Amino acid sequence: MIAQPEKKNFRWQNVAFAVLVGALVYMAIFFYRFANRERPVPGIANIAADQVRPKFNTEFEEQGRLVFLRGGRPDTLAAVRLEFALEEQEQAQGMMWRRDVRPDQAMLFVFPQEEPRSFWMKNTLVSLDLYFIAADSSILNIHKAAVPENTELHYRSEGKAQFVLETVAGFADQHGIAPGDKIRW
What average pLDDT score do residues 47-70 get?
71
Both 86 and 58 in one domain: the answer is yes
Q: Using an 8 Å Cβ cutoff, are 150 and 128 in contact?
A: no
Position 14 in a domain: yes
Both 86 and 151 in one domain: the answer is yes
> Is 0.95 topped by the overall pTM?
no
Say how many domains are in the chain. Answer: 2
Position 42 in a domain: no
Tens digits of per-residue pLDDT, 84-94? Answer: 999 998 999 99
Position 154 in a domain: yes
Q: Using an 8 Å Cβ cutoff, are 110 and 85 in contact?
A: yes
Both 92 and 24 in one domain: the answer is no
- Report the pLDDT value the prediction gives residue 41, as an integer from 0 to 100: 38
Structural domain range at position 172: 51-184
Place 23 in a pLDDT band, splitting at 50, 70 and 90.
confident
Position 45 in a domain: no
Q: Using an 8 Å Cβ cutoff, are 184 and 137 in contact?
A: yes
Both 13 and 101 in one domain: the answer is no
Both 60 and 32 in one domain: the answer is no
Both 148 and 118 in one domain: the answer is yes
Both 12 and 88 in one domain: the answer is no
Helix, strand, or coil (residue 119): strand
Strand partners, 73: none
Tens digits of per-residue pLDDT, 54-65? Answer: 445 578 889 999
